[in-house]
Structure 1
Amino acid sequence: MPGKEKTLKPLPRFKSDEEAERFVDDADLTDYDLSDGRSVRFEFEKKTARINMRMPEGLFRAIKKRAAERGIPYQRFIRETLEKEVTR
């Protein structure tokens, strides 16, 4: 019916990745409210170079805190920060 907005269902909670994959395979996602979704970044390039560095303890704590706020390991946070700086 024209003019009538569709009521969206909330996404269910999943107990496993497999359960979520089955849901996505079978569901019509236009029926669900995806507004709480967040962007994710997948890393496919193999990491082969290693570095070892020293830094002030306070900086290291701040890095770990920022990484935790984003829900990622601190090593990834450092790598992403370096990538942003080098590629801009």
Structure 2
Amino acid sequence: MKRKVPVMTTDEEAEAFLEQDLSDLDFSQFKPYRFEFENKTARVNMRLPEGQLATLKAEARKRGIPYQRFMRELLERGLQNLKAS
């Protein structure tokens, strides 16, 4: 049986955990997460159809993140796609 990752509260616990064989861990418990490092200094005010905002909020809730962060992620992906084309 695969084992779950324990909750760790110190760097020492994390380091000790990483020093062991991790091949029997259940990785299905992990979710991808993007970190936001840049400061948010600019403000944007926009109007959206209520249905579109409701969809954004519902999708963000499913992902477990605030809807404004989800909107930034969508904007970032769209901008990356523009650069790639």
Band the TM-score falls in, shorter-chain normalisation: 0.7 to 0.9
The one-character-per-residue Cα deviations of 1:41-78 (angstroms, maximum 9, x if unpaired) are 11111111110011111111111000001111000111
In the other structure, the counterpart of 1:76 is 69
Q: Among the aligned pairs, what percent are the same residue?
A: 38
Runs (4+) of structure 1 exceeding 4 A deviation are none
TM-score norm. by structure 2 comes to 0.75
Aligned residues: 78
Offset at 1:34?
4.3
CA distance in 2, matches of 1:82, 1:38: 21
Equivalent residue for 1:35, pick from 17, 27, 34? 27
Q: Is 1:59 equivalent to 2:35 in the alignment?
A: no
Offset at 1:25?
1.8
CA RMSD in angstroms comes to 2.2
In the other structure, the counterpart of 1:23 is 13
CA distance in 1, matches of 2:73, 2:21: 31
TM-score norm. by structure 1 comes to 0.73
| Structure 2, unpaired ranges of 5+ | none
In structure 2, relative to structure 1, the CA distance for the partners of 1:72 and 1:29 (3 Å cut) is: farther
In structure 2, relative to structure 1, the CA distance for the partners of 1:45 and 1:29 (3 Å cut) is: farther
In the other structure, the counterpart of 2:38 is 45
CA distance in 2, matches of 1:22, 1:29: 17
Instruction: Answer yes or no: is the 8 Å Cα contact 1:11–1:32 preserved in 2.
Output: no
Equivalent residue for 1:11, pick from 5, 8, 15? 5
In structure 2, relative to structure 1, the CA distance for the partners of 1:74 and 1:47 (3 Å cut) is: same
Offset at 1:9?
3.4
